[in-house]
Amino acid sequence: MSERCPYCGGDIEINHDDGYGYSEYEIHQQECGNCGKSFAFTTSSVIYYHLKKADCLNDGEHSYQETITYPRRYTKLKCLQCGDEKPLPDERPYLINGEDRATSGAIGQP
């Protein structure tokens, strides 16, 4: 999502490093990488809601799926529908012993 410089019309990527520039009703400043002039901007966030069915909240089954997390021992199960999180079941002892071995495939070792 890029904006246009008010001076030269060049493409501007609003810089949000460290969360800068997100607060509303404040004037922020940035320099155009194209023409070198400084400009000011204000931010307004438009909130979109995406509503969807979550049967698991209505006596249905949760659709838990493993989160993609590194290291693996932080992997949890997250429900795709309602976002509920729960720890992985304890059937993976290799995740508890030896953090380094967890990545080298403890399954099926001799």
Residues that bind Zn ion (CB under 5 A): 5, 7-8, 10, 32, 34-35, 56, 62, 79, 81-82, 84
Q: Which 8-state DSSP code applies to residue 89?
A: P
Beta bridge partners of 1: none
Residue 47 to residue 101: CA distance in whole angstroms: 44
DSSP 96: H
Cα separation, 58 vs 83, whole angstroms? 14
User: What is the smallest separation between the CB atom of 22 and Zn ion, expressed in angstroms?
Assistant: 22
Q: State which residue, 7 or 20, has the beta carbon closest to Zn ion.
A: 7
Q: Give whichever of 33 and 98 is closer to Zn ion, judged by the CB atom.
A: 33
Residue 67 Cβ vs Zn ion, minimum distance, rounded to whole Å: 14
Considering the complex, what minimum distance in angstroms separates the CB of residue 75 from Zn ion? 17
